Structure 1
Amino acid sequence: MAAQNTATTDATPADPARSPTGRQWLALSVLVLSQLAVWLDNTVLNVALKTLADPDRGLGATPNQLQWSISSYTLVFAVLLFTGGVLADRYGHRRLLLTGMLVFGAASAWAGYAGSAPELIVARGVMGIGSALIMPATLALIAQVFDERHRATAIAIWSGSSGIAIATGPMLSGALLDHFWWGSVFLVNVPIVALCVAGSFAFLPGVVTRVRQKFDPLGVVLSTAGLFAIVWGVIEGGHRNDWTDPAILGALAGGAALVVVFVLVELRVANPSFDVRLFHDIRFTGASVAVMLTFFGLNGSMYYTSFYLQGVHGQTPLECGLSIAPVALGVLVGAPLSARLVRAHGVRRVVTAAMLITTVGFFCYVFLDEHSGLPLFWVFLVLQGLGMGAAVAPTTEAIMAVLPAERTGAGSAVNNAMRQIGGVLGVAVLGSVLVSVYRDRITPKLGGLPPRAADAAEESPEATRLLSARLRLPRLSDAADQGFVHAMHVASVVGAIAAAAGALIIWWTFRRSSSKPGAGL
C-alpha cells in the first residue's frame, strides 16, 4: 500500500545562501544533547561493570549477567529502531523524541534502584525502548532543520557528540562511583532528559511530514527473536565454554534462520519496518556494514578495557574514567576533520584510511601487559578514537544522502540499528572470547584447590582475585592478571580483524565514485 503524506509545517527551511540561524544551532544542540544521553548511558556502565560484579558494593553480577546488562539495552535498541523510524515518520519526529525521552528517563530511575542483576537487565531493556524512539528522530530532525549545504556539518557535529559521551561518561561514572552507590550512574540521565524535553518544545519544529504507513509487527517479532537467539548463543557459549552444546548450536542456527526469514518477509511487505530494499544501493550497504563493524570493535574494547584498568592495574573507577578519556580526543578531532577531508578526497579514501587507523589501534593492545605504562595505552586509545571519529561521520552522511526525504526516519533507523547491532555483537563476541580464553588459561593454575573453589575461580578474574585474597595465595592474583591480559590480546585481534574487514568493504563498495574525489561520495 503506497504511503500517503499529509503536511503541516511550523518550520521555515533555511536559505542555502545564508549560514544557519541561531535557532537552528539551538535546535542542533537539543538533538546533540538527546543523543548524548543515549551514548552516555553506554559509556557510564562500562566503568561500573567491576562494581556491579562486587557482591558487597554492587549486585554480585556474573560475567554473563554483566554482558546482558549491556546487551539487553543495545539489543532492544537495535531491533526497535526499525519501529521507531516508522513511528517517527507516521506521528512526527518531535513527538517521538519527547515520548522516547520520557520512557528513557523513567527506565533510568528504575535501573538506578534495581535490587538484582536480572531486574537491572530488564530495566536496561526498557531504556532501550526509549532510545529506539529517540535516535531515529534526532537524525531525521537534523535533515529537516538543515538544508543540504549545511547538513553534512550538522551531522558531523551530531556524530562527534558520541566522542563527548566517550569522554565524559567514564569520568562522570568514576566520580559518581567514588562518592555514591552504583545506581547513581543511571540517575544522572534524569536531569538531562528534563533539559531535552524543555528544549524540544522551545526549538524543534513540529510535524512537517507525516507518512501514513502500516506497522510491521511480524518483522519486529522475527528480528527481535532472531537477534536475541544469536546473542544468547554467543554469550552462553562463552560462559559455558562449550560451543558444541546442542542448546548453543540450536540458538545460533535458529537465530540465523529467523534473521533469514525476517529478510524474506521484509522484501515482501509493502511498508516494511526495516526497508531491506535500501541495501540494493551498494554504497548504502557498504557504509552501513562499515558502521556496524566500527561499533563492533568500539563496544567490545570498552567492555574489556574497564576490567584491564580496574582489575590488572588496580585503578579506582574515577582513575579508570580518566584513563579512558583520551579515546574521546581522537573522536572529537576525527569527526570534524573528516568532513573537510571527504570534500577533498572522497569517502572511499578517507573512511578506508580511518578504519585502517582503527585497526592499528585495536591490534596494538597485544603490546600491553600487566606492567605496561599508561602513556602507551593512551596512544592506542587516541588512534582508536581518531579512526572511529573519521569513519562514522562520512559513512552516516553517505547513508542519509541516498534516502528520499520522506524516509529519513526509517533510513536513520537503519543507520542506528547497524550501530547497535554491531555494538551488541561486539560485547557478545569479544566478551565471550574473553571469558573462554581466560578460563582455558587459568584452569591449569587452579590445580590442588577444592573443586568448588576452583569452579568459582574460573568464572572471572575478579572471582580468582577474591579467592586469592581469602586463601592468601598471591600467586593466584598474579595468574588472574596474566590470564586476563592474554585473553584481552586475543579479543583485541578479533576486533582488529573486524575493523580491517570494514576498511576492505568501504574500499570495494565506493570504488565507482573514486575518480571524483571532490564529489564527497
Structure 2
Amino acid sequence: MPAEPIDADLTDRSPGPGRLAWLIVAMLVPVALLNYLDRQMLAVMKTSVMADIPDIASRENWGFMLGSFKWVYALLSPVGGYIADRFGRRLVIVASLFVWSAVTWATGYVEDFNTLVATRALMGISEAFYIPAALAMIADHHRGATRSRAVGLHQTGIYAGLIIGGFMGHVADAPDLGWRFAFKACGLVGVVYALPLLMILRDPPIRTDAAAKAHREASAFASIAELMRNRNFLLLVACFTLPALAGWVVKDWMPDIIKERYDLPQGSAGVYSVLPVQIASVVGVLLGGWLADSLMRRTVRGRIYVSAAGMVLFLPALFGVGFSEHLWLAVVFLIVYGIGWGFFDCNNMPILSQIAPPDRRATGYGLMNLVSISCGGFADWGFGFLRDRHVPLAVIFGAFAMIALISAVLMLMIRPRPELTETPRADA
C-alpha cells in the first residue's frame, strides 16, 4: 500500500476558508434540514398514521418499521461513503437528496404496513449517501481552525429539521391537511432544491501524484481494512455508537413517551418532546464548535475533550428523563441532553479527520453510521418490546446513562495523529 496522503493544508498557516467554503455549508444546511424532517415527522404523527393504517397494530411493529429505515441506512452508509471518497462528494449529495425526496413524496400514498416499511427502507437507501459525503465535503473545504464550527453550523440544519418535524403532529391533526399532505409537500420541496444544489456545490481540487491516486483508487475492501486496523478509528466507532442508542430512542419515541406519561394530545406531545432537545442542540453545536476550535489552539485533543464533556452531560439528563414525574422537569433534563448532544455531534467528523486521511473520511463516517444506526434500529425495536412488557422508563434510561459514561471514557482514549492535525494558529 502506498504511503497515506496527508491533508497538505493542515500543516501550514494559510488564511482561513474563503467564501465558497462557507457558501457550501450554507447550501447544505437546508439539505440537512430536509434529511431529518423527512425522518422525524413520522414519529410525531404516530397516532394519525396508525389510525389510517390499522394493520400496523402494535408498538413492536411500529418500532420494527422505524428500525427498517435504520438497518438499510446503516448497511448502505459505507457504500455511499466509499463512492463519495472515490468519485467525489457533489453528485452523491445531489442524487441522494433527489431520490429520498421522491420517496418521501411517495410515502404520502401508502395504504398498508408492508408498503410503509418498504418506503422507509427505500428512504434509508437514498439518505445513506448524504451525511458521509456532506460532512466529508465540509471537512475538505474547512481544513483548519474552522472545522468544528463549520460542521456545527451544518448540524443546525439537522436540528431545525427535527424542530419543524416536532410540529408535524399539528399538521397531521388538521382536517384540511393531514399526515399524507406533510409527506407530499416535503418531498416536492426536496426534488426542486436538488437543481440549485447541483449548480453551486463544488468538490475541492484533489492531489494527483501517484501515491495519492493509488491510495484514493484502492478497492472498497482495502479502504475498509485500512480503517479497521486503526485503533483510534475503532474507539471512535464505539464512541459514536453507544450514545446514539439513547439518541435514537429520544428522537423516535419521546413524542409517544410524553403523550402517554403526561396525558397530552399528539400535537402538544410532539412539540414538548422535540423543541427543547433540538433548540438546546443548536446552542450546543454552536457553542461546542467554537469551544473545540478554540481549544485546538492549546491542545490537539481539544475536540476530544469537548465531545467527552457532552457525553458526561448525558448522565444527569438521561437519569432525569427516566425519573421525572412532572413535564416541566422532563423538559429541563431534555434541554441538558440537547446541549450535551450538540457538543458531541459537532466534533465527530473533525475528530475523524484527525485520525483518518482525507480520502478515507466519507468511508469512515459511513462505517460509523453502519455500526451506530444498526444498533439504533435494534434500540428502537427493543424499546418498543420493553414498553409493551411494561419495563419502567427509569430502568431503561438509567441503563442508557451508564452507557454514556462508558462512551466518555473511550473517547478520552483516542490519540490524534500529528500529521493529520492542524497546527494551531495564533490568528485563528
Superposed pair shares fold, TM > 0.5: yes
Residue matched to 1:401: 354
- TM-superposition CA deviations, 1:115-156 (whole Å, max 9, x none): 101110011100111101222221122133333343332112
> Superposed, which structure 2 residues align to 1:312-461 within 5 Å?
312-324=261-273, 325-342=275-292, 343-344=294-295, 346-369=302-325, 372=326, 374-436=327-389, 438=390
1:144–1:348: structure 2 CA closer, same or farther, 3 Å change rule?
closer
| Consecutive unaligned residues in structure 1, runs of 5 or more | 6-14, 216-268, 439-485
Q: Which letter does structure 2 place at the counterpart of 1:404?
A: P
1:178 has 2:173 as partner:
yes
Residue matched to 2:47: 50
Is contact 1:42-1:70 (8 Å) kept? no
| Consecutive unaligned residues in structure 2, runs of 5 or more | 6-12
1:96 has 2:46 as partner:
no
Residue matched to 1:306: 255
Is contact 2:309-2:408 (8 Å) kept? yes
> Superposed, which structure 2 residues align to 1:211-226 within 5 Å?
none
2:184 to 161, 182, 187: 187
Q: Which letter does structure 2 place at the counterpart of 1:175?
A: H
Please identify the structure whose Cα radius of gyration is greater: 1
Residue matched to 2:402: 497
Using the TM superposition, give the Cα deviation of residue 270 of structure 1 relative to its aligned residue in structure 2, in angstroms: 5.2
Q: CA separation in 2, counterparts of 1:294 and 1:85?
A: 22
Is contact 2:355-2:416 (8 Å) kept? no
1:289 has 2:243 as partner:
no
Q: CA separation in 2, counterparts of 1:34 and 1:280?
A: 33
Q: Which letter does structure 1 place at the counterpart of 2:279?
A: L
1:196 has 2:193 as partner:
yes
Q: CA separation in 2, counterparts of 1:84 and 1:511?
A: 25
Residue matched to 1:507: 412
**Aligned residues, how many?**
400
Using the TM superposition, give the Cα deviation of residue 391 of structure 1 relative to its aligned residue in structure 2, in angstroms: 1.2
Is contact 2:33-2:159 (8 Å) kept? no
Q: 3-state DSSP class of the match of 1:364?
A: helix
Residue matched to 2:33: 36
- TM-superposition CA deviations, 1:287-343 (whole Å, max 9, x none): 222121222111113333222222333322321222120111221111121223333
1:51–1:310: structure 2 CA closer, same or farther, 3 Å change rule?
farther
Q: 3-state DSSP class of the match of 2:392?
A: helix
> Superposed, which structure 2 residues align to 1:118-133 within 5 Å?
118-133=114-129
1:302–1:349: structure 2 CA closer, same or farther, 3 Å change rule?
same
Greater relative contact order, per chain length (Cα 8 Å cut-off, separation 6+):
2
1:103–1:398: structure 2 CA closer, same or farther, 3 Å change rule?
same
Q: Pairwise CA RMSD of aligned residues?
A: 3.2
- TM-superposition CA deviations, 1:448-488 (whole Å, max 9, x none): xxxxxxxxxxxxxxxxxxxxxxxxxxxxxxxxxxxxxx632
Using the TM superposition, give the Cα deviation of residue 81 of structure 1 relative to its aligned residue in structure 2, in angstroms: 0.8
Using the TM superposition, give the Cα deviation of residue 512 of structure 1 relative to its aligned residue in structure 2, in angstroms: 11
What's the TM-score once normalised by structure 1's chain length?
0.69
Q: 3-state DSSP class of the match of 1:347?
A: helix
Using the TM superposition, give the Cα deviation of residue 418 of structure 1 relative to its aligned residue in structure 2, in angstroms: 4.1
Q: CA separation in 2, counterparts of 1:270 and 1:146?
A: 27
> Superposed, which structure 2 residues align to 1:458-497 within 5 Å?
487-497=392-402
- TM-superposition CA deviations, 1:487-520 (whole Å, max 9, x none): 322221222222122112113335999xx9x979
Q: CA separation in 1, counterparts of 2:222 and 2:182?
A: 33
Q: 3-state DSSP class of the match of 1:508?
A: coil
Q: CA separation in 2, counterparts of 1:400 and 1:2?
A: 19
Using the TM superposition, give the Cα deviation of residue 68 of structure 1 relative to its aligned residue in structure 2, in angstroms: 1.9
Give aligned-pair identity as a percent.
Answer: 21
Is contact 1:47-1:306 (8 Å) kept? yes
Q: Which letter does structure 1 place at the counterpart of 2:220?
A: N
1:130–1:420: structure 2 CA closer, same or farther, 3 Å change rule?
same
